[in-house]
Each structure stands twice: as structure tokens, then as C-alpha cells.
Amino acid sequence: MLNPIVYAVPVFLLLMLLEFAWSRRRGETVYRAADTVSSLSLGIISQLVAVFTQLLMLGIYGWLWQHAALLPEWSLGSPWAWAGALLIYDFLYYWKHRLGHEVAVLWAAHVVHHSSEEYNLSTALRQTGSDFLLGWVFYLPMALLGVPPLMFVVVGLIDLLYQFWVHTRLVGRLGWFDRVFVSPSNHRVHHGQNDYCLDRNYGGILILWDRLFGSFVEERDGEPIVYGVRGQLKSWNPWTANLRSYADLWRDARLADNWADRLTIWWRSPNWRPAAALRALPKPRPDLSRFQRYAPALAPGMAAYGLLQLGPLLLLGVYFLAVQPRLAPPLALGAALALLLQLVLLSRLLEGNSRLGEGLRLLALGAWAGAQLWRGQALLGAGPWLWVLCLAAALAGLLWLARPSSAAGQTGRALP
Ligand SMILES: [Zn+2]
Ligand SMILES: [Zn+2]
């Protein structure tokens, strides 16, 4: 079966374009090119990781369902079974998400979704690459209740896809809807770093869970939401976004002066730090009134360049998801790593770093696409258009980077 995300991507892109056009009409800026490149890169990487980890997670779920289910199998033909499974999934999602904010090692995975300082539909695709470590454990009760793996996968997908549309600033309050379902208004609060927003509105589809368990708060008029996390990421690099919080935890564990702190830091609140780490490396509370979004200075046109170069990489990612079941594991792993490396190099260019890495990336991409065309694309069976596009992007990119005016503009202006 074709990965359903392959079908969803064109819809995501279309809705993002519509959101962008609508925001321009209203005279608002809700997208920044480099932030969008970063969010979409993280989405692609999260899907690449899932290709290699999901089967194992599903295997464990399936084994448990087969050998330890307490109830008889749920009928795939019953709408009530589907509705019940979705309700249970949404309930478990609430707790997974809530603990994702309240337990340090789970926050280290989930923080990726919150590290954008913008709030738009691309933020929805900004997903973690390390959910496979612990995230799947939360849904095992469904296997014990007898929910078949297929039903589990489908309701999980429905819950995930539902959350896409709520990541927008353009839809205002929706009255009763905001108090029953997760909505743009109440999920904006979830992404805020204002005091009143912290650790609120965890729901996936139903916000009723938050009202039931005391974590609901309504969006406040007259108090603009500052999006992002306390302790800014200050990077476009998807590798950094995925690993920074684990590295911080590891550093604090090493700074701790006793084993109790070293061992418990992982399971405590993300705000807790060992006394010795606080002394060695104090972190003052950030002043939100002086908050500045991350925006490294870039040469004119560079942010748009990043967005245009992301296009072929996004297509390669979708193509990979489509053909991956037919690839030998070493080839699949090599292709995924090559894509990951390209996304990292592109992000480094957008941080104002050396163009050498980007130049080498373009050379490698162009050479590979050229080789595919030369061999008649026998290797992976795509139409030649994909390789023509990659080759054209590589050549255009090399010409653009090498143009005489580009070095002069290196010290240029901040992003718009
Ligand atoms: Zn969250
Ligand atoms: Zn979100």
C-alpha cells in the first residue's frame, strides 16, 4: 500500500499556498521563507525516520494485540468500533502529549514541534524525528483492548491529519467549537510561550479532555501570543532542532554532582535542573517583552533561494516514501541519509554559513540526477521529469551562488 502521506502532501502544499495568499490579502505576514524551509525539512526527516522505525513499532503493537488482547477483536465493519477506537486514541494522545510537555526526555522529542517562532500551516508539519524512542508506548493499551493494527493505524492518521488545519493565525474564534474541539484559537494558545499559555490545551481532536483534566485555557484578547519555546533554538538546522534538548539534558546530567540527579533528570519536569548545573551554567528567565525572533542576516534573495531549493528535495522525499518499499534496505538507508544531509546543508546556508557546503551539495545532486538520466532511470523507476528538475535546480543553484554580486551581498540584510 502506498504511504498515505504521499497523497496528503499536495493537499498540504495547496492549503499552505492558500494561507499565504490569504494572509497577503489581509496585509499580514505569517510566513518567513527560512522558517518554512526549516519546518518542512523537519517534516520530511520525521517521515524518513518513520520509514525505518514504524514497522518495528507496529510489530510490537501487533504482537501484543495477537497474544495479550483482553477483549475480542473489534469489527472493521462496525462504525461504532471505528468511532470508539478514535475516541480512545484521542484520549491516549492527550496523555502522551501532556507528558510530552511534563517529562524532560519526552519534551526533548516533542520540543521540535514547538521550536518555530511562527505559527502557520507549515508549523503543523514540523514534527519530531525521535518519537519512535518512547512515543509509541502510550498507544499499547489499544492493543490490549483488542483494537486491530489496521484500525489503530487509520485512527492515528485521522488524529494526526485533523491537527493540520488548526495551525493558522487566520481563523479567529469559533464560539462553541473552540470549547469542544481542538481549533486554531485554542491550539494557538498551546504554541505560545506567554505565562498563561504554558502547558495548556494538549488535545488532538477533542479539547474536551483539557476541560476534563484541568489544562484548558481560552485565548486572551489583548495579549498577543509570542510563539515558540523559552530558551530559543536559534537555528534553522533540523539536526540541531532534533538533538539540542537531548544534548542539554546530557550536559546537565554530567554537570550534576550526584547520581540521584544524574539518573532522575530524564524523568523530571523539563524546567528542573540539578543544583550543580544551575550553579555552573545559570540560565536567566527570558524577558518576553524584549523577545526577538531568530533571523540571521542573509544576502538578498537567499531566503527565497532556500525555499526554491527545498522544492526538489521535498519531491525527492515524497518520491522516496512512494518507492521505498521496493528498495533494498542499504539503498533505502543511503538515500534517506543523503536527503538528510542535503537538508542540513541547505539550512546551514540559511544561517549565513559558508556556501562551500551548499556548492558541494548542488554538485552531488546534479551529478546524481545526471547519472539517473544517463542510465534511463532504471534504478528507481521515476519518470525523467524528477531527475530533469533536480539537475536544473542544481545547475541554477550553482550559477546563482557563483554570480559576482553574491559574495558582496554576504554581509547583507536581515530576512524580511
Ligand atoms: Zn505540544
Ligand atoms: Zn501544534
CA of 196 to the centre of ligand 1 (A): 15
CA of 57 to the centre of ligand 1 (A): 22
CA of 202 to the centre of ligand 1 (A): 6
pLDDT tens, residue by residue, 90-124: 999 999 999 999 999 999 999 999 999 999 999 99
Output the CA–CA distances (angstroms, integers) from residue 48 to 62, 224, 241, 260, in the order listed.
22, 35, 16, 36
CA of 113 to the centre of ligand 2 (A): 6
CA distance linking residue 156 with residue 85, whole number of Å = 9
CA distance linking residue 7 with residue 30, whole number of Å = 25
Q: Record the cell numbers describing residue 221, joined without a space.
A: 484578547
Its pTM stands at 0.93
Cell 510563539, located at residue: 227
Cell 525539512, located at residue: 41
Report the percentage of the chain scoring pLDDT > 90: 80
CA of 123 to the centre of ligand 1 (A): 12
pLDDT of residue 285: 81
CA of 381 to the centre of ligand 2 (A): 36
Question: 413 - beta bridge partners?
Answer: 298
CA of 193 to the centre of ligand 1 (A): 11
CA of 61 to the centre of ligand 2 (A): 26
Nearest-Å Rg of the Cα atoms of the chain is 22
Ligand nearest to the CA of 127: 2
CA of 17 to the centre of ligand 1 (A): 25
CA of 110 to the centre of ligand 1 (A): 7
CA of 223 to the centre of ligand 1 (A): 20
pLDDT of residue 51: 93
Q: For residue 82, what are the contacts with CB-CB under 8 A and spacing of at least 6?
A: 151, 154, 155
CA of 165 to the centre of ligand 2 (A): 10
CA distance linking residue 87 with residue 272, whole number of Å = 33
Nearest to 169 by CA among 124, 216, 212: 124
CA of 147 to the centre of ligand 2 (A): 26
pLDDT of residue 4: 85
CA distance linking residue 295 with residue 413, whole number of Å = 10
**Total H helices, total E strands in the chain:** 19, 0
CA of 376 to the centre of ligand 2 (A): 42
Ligand nearest to the CA of 184: 2
CA distance linking residue 300 with residue 115, whole number of Å = 25
Ligand nearest to the CA of 97: 1
CA of 54 to the centre of ligand 2 (A): 21
CA of 163 to the centre of ligand 1 (A): 12
Ligand nearest to the CA of 100: 1
Instruction: Give the CA angle between residues 188, 189, 192 to the nearest 5°.
Output: 90
Which SS3 state, helix, strand or coil, does residue 341 take?
A: helix
pLDDT of residue 411: 43
Q: Tell me how far apart the terminal alpha carbons of the chain are, to the nearest angstrom.
A: 42
pLDDT of residue 286: 80
In the predicted model, residues of the chain with pLDDT beneath 50 are 408-416
Ligand nearest to the CA of 99: 1
Cell 493558522, located at residue: 168
Ligand nearest to the CA of 106: 1
Output the CA–CA distances (angstroms, integers) from residue 299 to 85, 235, 238, 400, 410, in the order listed.
51, 17, 21, 12, 5
CA distance linking residue 36 with residue 13, whole number of Å = 11
CA of 167 to the centre of ligand 2 (A): 6
CA distance linking residue 134 with residue 379, whole number of Å = 35
